[in-house]
Amino acid sequence: MDHDSGYGLRRAGAAVGSLAAAAAGCFVLRFAYQGLAIADVGSFLNILVVAMFAICSAIAFRRTWTGYVRRPDPATEASLRSLKSIGFIGVLLAYFFRSLTEAPGEKLHRSEYETALIQYERRRGSRTGNPAARKKKPKRRR
């Protein structure tokens, strides 16, 4: 949670790295598309492949972006793992845009830490010392 020395540099490196990885991914997808064009598979399949990568990237971007604000459901994330791997460019772009404002996931981790700290203080504050050292109250006879 501390922004010690080199925090800005690390965050800038993460942003540049994710943008470079997204650009490299687009370059690879371009080669794949050219391979389909050389194979002459037809315009329908070409359009289908482009639409699939665009839709999967958009969904992966949205799911990754919301994952930085609140903890996603593990079962849902497991079912969307293949979609996120197809739409990897959307994941990388979400990481890039988030790292421009903060480290990805930092706000979520900070809020979880603060919540845990408040709960700990509440639990700790309700205790008043060692229970074994307390004096027992005398029993009343009726």
Q: Does a structural domain hold residue 95?
A: yes
| Domain assignment of residue 101, yes or no | yes
Convert the pLDDT of each residue in 66-91 to its tens digit: 888 888 788 888 888 888 889 999 99
**Is 44 within a domain?**
yes
Residues 45-60 pLDDT 10s: 889 999 999 999 999 9
In a domain, 142, yes or no: no
Residue 43 lies in a domain: yes
Number of domains in the chain: 1
Q: Which domain holds residue 20?
A: 7-125
Please choose, from the candidates 106, 112, 99, 116, the residue with its C-alpha nearest in 3D space to the C-alpha of residue 1.
Answer: 106
Cα 118-123-124 angle, rounded to 5 deg: 95
Residue 141 lies in a domain: no
Q: How far lies 115's CA from each of 48, 93, 109, 111, 120, in Å? A: 46, 29, 10, 6, 9
The answer to whether residue 140 is domain-embedded is: no
Q: Is residue 134 part of a domain?
A: no
Say what the pTM is.
0.72
Residue 108's pLDDT band (boundaries 50, 70, 90)? confident
Confidence class of residue 124 from pLDDT cuts 50, 70 and 90?
Answer: confident
> Residue 71: what are its φ and ψ, rounded to 5°?
-70, 125
